[in-house]
Every structure is written in C-alpha cells, then in structure tokens.
Amino acid sequence: MKEPKVYLPELTREEVKELVAKAVLLVPVATIEQHGPHAPLQTDIDNCFHICIMAAKRVHPNPPTLVSAPVWFSPSPFDPAWQPISICIREEVFKEALNDILESYLRGGFRRIVVVNGHGGGTEWLVPQVVQKLNRKISSIWKDWRIPDDARVVTFEWGAFLEVYAQDELAKVRSSPPGSDWHAGDIETSIQLYLHPELVDMSKAKVGYRYKRSAFSAHDLGRNWFWQYIIAGSPYIGGETGEVDGVSGDPTLATAELGERILNIAAQKIAEFILEFSKM
C-alpha cells in the first residue's frame, strides 16, 4: 500500500487547496541543543517531527492530517559558551515568529492546528501564550482581517502529554521510574537509537540528574507541564546528581526496541487526540 503523503512541504499548492479546510495541521516545535555526550543535537526536533509524521499517517485521510515544516529553534536554557551548540532565541522573538507562522497557516485556510512541543526549556509557558492570543482571533499581520471564529489552535508538550494520557502504556515498556527522562534520558535516547542508531554513542551514555519525587512539587514532565495550571510556579525540591552534567534521567537504559515502542505509543495517543480534535 502506498504511504500517505502527509508532509506539507511535499504537497503542491493545488493539493493543499483540496485539503486545507478539512485538515488537521500538526506543527512540530523544538530546538537544537546539547543532549549529553551520547546523543545528537537534533534529538528534540527530530523526535518530535517523526512522532508527528507517524501520528498523521495513522489517521490520514480520515480526517486529512498534515505535518508542517518543523519550527527548528526555540529558547534554550543551555548557554552555548558551556556546551556548544545550543541555539538561544529571545523569548519575544520566538513568540512573534511562532505567531506569524501559525497565523499564516490560519490565513491560508487551516482551521485545526496542533502545536506539538518537543522541547520545554520554558517554551511550555511561551507557546500557550501564542496559542491563546490566536484563539482570541487577533491578527498581528493583517490588521483588516480577523481569524475565523471556527478556527482552533491547541498545544501540548508530547512527553507531558504521554505522562498524563498514557501513563499505563509507558509503565509497561519502561524500566525507569515515571518522569525520570527530562532531557537526554532513556526515552529521548531510545527514540534516536531507533531512528538513527549511527548517531548515538551508547559507550558515552551516563546517568544524569534525577529529580526527587514529592506529593506537591514538580518532579516529572506531567506535573511540571500539566499540573502547573494547578500550582503555578511550584519549585523543584532537589534531586540526586548523576555522573554527567546536561542530562536528566538514565540514558544507559535506552534501547532501539524501547524507542520503537515509545514512538508507537506517542503516535497512537496523538492520533486518538486528532480524531477528537477534528470534530470540535
């Protein structure tokens, strides 16, 4: 069976015109930054992009689902003077650029847009600000144009999304505790091992920082990026220093098999969301 064509830049303008009003558009957003001594700089954006492509293929063409060109850069907490290379974008520049990208898709006729965040680093606060503005139907580019009332834009960080909506599925495939892969740990590394085994050097994988579990403070992705709306500004309460800086979690537990399973869980759960979102 022929693979569905879901990557928006590969379509012609006429093909897009046929789909745009009915389509759900996935917009992968992440960054390029250090991922420890073992994983490639592309980890965040590459993982996010492939998850979006897999999810889109699971549902397309019912409803039509497309994946935009990735938004490659967003604010990074890592100073490139410490561990090159991390791309640092000013918050306001990032928000304005993302707004204009999404508004252009809306102006072009898309009515359902899902911004899939594959990074974090503070963007879990910034992206929703952009989304909320667009959902107020305010145009920053075309002053005489109002974003259509039936347009909807949503966003989530895919790791936090899974920790909230696929907890049981994750627990079955992982050997590490929930929430332990904040950055370059077993999940992110496993996906890269599956997608690009030649780019991962497992001989250099070492245990990173591990957050202490608590009842009310953020200690995993689900609490940090979902529970923030219940206890905004809740501080981390510390944790255990690992063998290497710049890593959170335990990449030594990563395998290509785990990466494949995580990809399938993410694609399936996001596909389920797309089916519901398309009818809203």
Q: What is the pLDDT of residue 76?
A: 86
Task: Look at 145 and 232; give whichever has higher pLDDT.
Answer: 145
What is the C-alpha separation between 56 and 112, in angstroms, rounded? Answer: 13
Q: Quick: pLDDT tens for 23-74.
A: 999 999 999 999 999 999 999 999 999 999 999 999 999 999 999 999 999 9
Structural contact between residues 112 and 23, judged by C-beta atoms closer than 8 angstroms: yes
The total of other beta-carbon atoms located within 10 Å of residue 273's CB is 18
For residue 30, what are its two tokens? Answer: 């992440």
Do strands 24-29 and 65-67 pair parallel, antiparallel, or not at all (unpaired)?
parallel
Whole-model pTM: value is 0.94
Q: Quick: pLDDT tens for 221-258.
A: 555 656 666 677 776 677 888 999 999 899 999 999 99
Q: Does some domain include residue 219?
A: yes
User: Among the residues of 205-255, which ranges form H helices?
Assistant: 221-225
SS3 for 238? Answer: coil
Query: In CATH, what number is assigned to the domain containing residue 266?
Result: 3.40.50.10310
Beta bridge partners of 28: 116
- Rg over alpha carbons for the chain, rounded to the nearest Å, is 19
Q: What is the pLDDT of residue 240?
A: 83
Q: Does some domain include residue 129?
A: yes
Does the pLDDT of residue 210 top 90, yes or no? Answer: no
Q: Does some domain include residue 3?
A: no
Angle (deg, nearest 10), helices 186-195 and 43-59: 70
Q: Quick: pLDDT tens for 148-191.
A: 999 999 999 999 899 889 989 998 998 776 666 789 999 999 99
Q: What is the pLDDT of residue 87?
A: 86
Closest CA to 270 of 6, 1, 9: 6
Closest CA to 6 of 44, 50, 46: 50
Q: Does some domain include residue 2?
A: no
DSSP state of 220: S
Q: Does some domain include residue 1?
A: no
Strand 65-67: give its sheet, edge to edge.
65-67, 24-29, 112-117, 152-157
Q: What is the pLDDT of residue 236?
A: 67
**Region class of 101: left (phi > 0), else alpha (psi between -120 and 50), else beta:** alpha
Task: Tell me which residue range forms the domain holding 230.
Answer: 8-277
HEC letters along 173-195: HCCCCCCCCCECCHHHHHHHHHH
- The domain total for the chain is 1
Q: Quick: pLDDT tens for 112-139.
A: 999 999 998 888 889 999 999 999 999 9
Q: What is the pLDDT of residue 238?
A: 74
Structural contact between residues 210 and 253, judged by C-beta atoms closer than 8 angstroms: no
Q: What is the pLDDT of residue 171?
A: 87
